[in-house]
Amino acid sequence: MIGMERMAKDKKATSKQEAKLKQEKALKRQLEKKQLEKERLERQRLAGLAEREAALRAEGFQAIAGLDEAGRGPLAGPVVAAAVILKPDWFLTGLNDSKQVSLANRLRLEQEIKATAAAWAIGEASPEEIDKHNILGATKLAMIRAIAALPVPPDYLLLDALRLPLDLPQEAVIKGDAKIACISAASILAKTHRDRLMEEWHRQYPDYGFCQNKGYPTEAHRKIVIEKGFCPIHRQSFLSFFRKAKEEEQIQLFG
């Protein structure tokens, strides 16, 4: 009798274990299915990013450079442009407009782009050049410098909503950093390069919080400029709020 009870318990335990294993296998298959679907959708998205470059290669262009910038809106620091020529067989999981990519993935993509691209280069325009040429002119200057620094001369340019005064076939694409692979790659390199520059400037001018705000006009950044004044990397043409605050102080003091 005791032996039969034990056998029944063992059978019940085995049945529970088998049910658990079956459930685990079903969950694993479900997760694998979801992962495969996720990968399929990502390949489909990346194929969409590659379409324009593929069409241009079919027309005979071989060195198609995507260009994008980072830092048009900040109060401080340079505007940075990147130029990237991707190989036809590129595969960069997660490639997108840099603003849509997490910091960890931006840094991963930066390394992958630099390691696998046919060519890439960075160009900068200083705060002084921004003040002299205005931000649009300085952005174009940074892009021209990036193109000049490419080790492979481009035969076609794809830009995010800009055209350059260069004798090269080119195309301005609205929101191109989210639509075309080489522009997306350029946006990643420009963003990571500029962020790193601003972190370096933070060590020299820690009061302004450049490691957090990257020079952009956050409330805290504007407040510290009004309180302490500007530093050498601030763009004078972007500081009208500072001059207005000082004028208001003078009015309050002297009536």
Structure token pair of residue 73: 């809106």
Q: Which residue has the higher pLDDT, 33 or 235?
A: 235
Rounded to an integer, the average pLDDT of 6-31 is 73
3-state SS, residue 1? coil
| Secondary-structure class of domain 58-203 per CATH | alpha beta
Q: How far apart are CA 227 and CA 214, in angstroms?
A: 19
> How many Cβ atoms sit within 10 Å of the Cβ of residue 224?
17
Which band of pLDDT confidence, cut at 50, 70 and 90, is reported for residue 36?
Answer: confident
Residue 95 has pLDDT above 90, yes or no: yes
Residue 174 CB partners (closer than 8 Å, separation 6+): 161
| Contact predicate 201/169, CB 8 Å | no
| Contact predicate 193/122, CB 8 Å | yes
What pLDDT is stored for residue 16 in this prediction?
73
Q: pLDDT per residue over 189-205, tens digit each?
A: 999 999 999 999 999 99
